[in-house]
Amino acid sequence: MDHRLTPEHEELRRTVEEFAHDVVAPKIGEFYERHEFPYEIVREMGRMGLFGLPFPEEYGGMGGDYLALGLALEELARVDSSVAITLEAGVSLGAMPVFRFGTEEQKREWLPRLCSGEMLGAFGLTEPECGSDAGGTRTTARLDEATGEWVINGTKCFITNSGTDITGLVTVTAVTGRGADGKPLISTIIVPSGTPGFTVAAPYSKVGWNASDTRELSFADVRVPAANLLGEQGRGYAQFLRILDEGRIAISALATGLAQGCLDESVAYAKTREAFGRPIGGNQAIQFKLADMEMKAHTARVSWRDAASRLVHGEPFKKQAAIAKLYSSTVAVDNAREATQIHGGYGFMNEYPVARMWRDSKILEIGEGTSEVQRMLIARELGFAG
């Protein structure tokens, strides 16, 4: 399969690369250390159209595809993952459910603002007692026939983009009934920010992604119109599985960017840092580390682009997305560790980008499906029952 970029995709990649190095890189370290959301940078990303990349122009998007989104995520993550995850979650988890499953009215109400970056959306899936077991959702929503409203109760955790000043909605998975077999029927419901009973907790104190927004959400008799149901009632589980399959491609692109960024920083450092009278890059031990880092980043890039290409062309991509996510997240952690080792003591200092990358890498083996879940999905695609 030919993964060479079209002129349009290459122009986008270069544009985001320049933005990442000229705008994000000089500023993001201060935001990161202050645990502060970079509104100025996000607004500029909105003006560039990055939040609308894979959506049709009729809804305010750029008319691009998932490959375009992945290219933008990779280039951003080469410099910083907090900014990259803000874009990834805003598009793949915030806006994509509305685009994939929303009514025409819902799309026209929400997508233009989500595509422009004027508003961020969030995806309320994970709960304190159900992470990988998303089918064990405990949040409930009952339809009050008298008022025509959903009444939602429950708690969500680790939700990205859920508490910023520009967050406009959270799509929430909730149990809305029981099937004939007694199993819970899960549906997805749009909850606008500021709805009475919808409480957003203070930001988490995190190991990494410190310039992104991550919070716990609680719902106490939250009422929203019945028309806020997203897609078909009882099909929420199937919906979020599709969203997560696509999102794994985006996370893989982000992880590849982090792996490449670790290599970029390490190559530059190895050429200038001297020890025993010469640059450390002259040592074969360092050269072999860099060669392995290059090999891994390159292979991760091929993997996510293959999955994205299959998605764009309407081909099955579940297995390829799981492979890409599993491999690229592993590579991100490997390259972050090696970059820190190459930098020595300086790699442990926050003034160096590799320290930030090291802190940001581990979550990639956990978020949007742990590495264990990816192996389970791959095994199922090979014909083995879970």
Q: What is the mean pLDDT of each run of 10 residues along the chain (386 residues)?
A: 86 98 97 97 98 97 97 98 98 97 97 98 92 81 97 97 98 94 93 98 97 98 98 92 95 98 98 95 97 98 97 96 98 98 96 96 95 96 87
pLDDT score of 1: 61
Residue 129 in domain: yes
Q: Are residues 257 and 130 in the same domain?
A: no
pLDDT score of 126: 93
Tell whether pTM > 0.85. yes
The CATH number of residue 185's host domain is 2.40.110.10
Residue 346 in domain: yes
pLDDT score of 386: 63
Residue 353 in domain: yes
Q: Which of 233, 264, 280 is the last residue of a domain?
A: 233
Cα distance between residue 173 and residue 289, in whole Å:
44
Domain that holds residue 371: 238-381
Q: Are residues 248 and 216 in the same domain?
A: no
The CATH number of residue 35's host domain is 1.10.540.10
Q: Which of 59, 90, 120 is the last residue of a domain?
A: 120
Q: Are residues 129 and 178 in the same domain?
A: yes
Q: Tell me how many domains the chain contains.
A: 3
Residue 386 in domain: no
Q: Are 232 and 243 in contact (CB under 8 A)?
A: no
Q: Are residues 249 and 377 in the same domain?
A: yes
The CATH number of residue 299's host domain is 1.20.140.10
Residue 313 in domain: yes
Residue 12 in domain: yes
Q: Which of 233, 249, 272 is the last residue of a domain?
A: 233
Q: Are residues 138 and 187 in the same domain?
A: yes
Q: Are residues 254 and 337 in the same domain?
A: yes
pLDDT score of 2: 66
Q: Are residues 115 and 126 in the same domain?
A: no
The pair of three-digit structure tokens given for residue 100, joined into one six-digit string: 């994939």
Residue 25 in domain: yes
Residues comprising the chain, all counted:
386
Q: Select from 123, 129, 73 the least CA-distant residue to 253.
A: 73
Q: Are residues 248 and 212 in the same domain?
A: no
Q: Are residues 252 and 214 in the same domain?
A: no
Residue 47 in domain: yes
For the annotated catalytic residues, the residue numbers are 368
Q: Please, what's the b/e burial string for 340-361 (b: 16 or more CB within 10 A of its CB; e: otherwise)?
A: bebbeeebeeeebbbbbbbbbb
**DSSP readout, 128-171?**
TTBSS-GGG---EEEEETTTTEEEEEEEEEEEETSSSTTEEEEE
pLDDT score of 237: 87
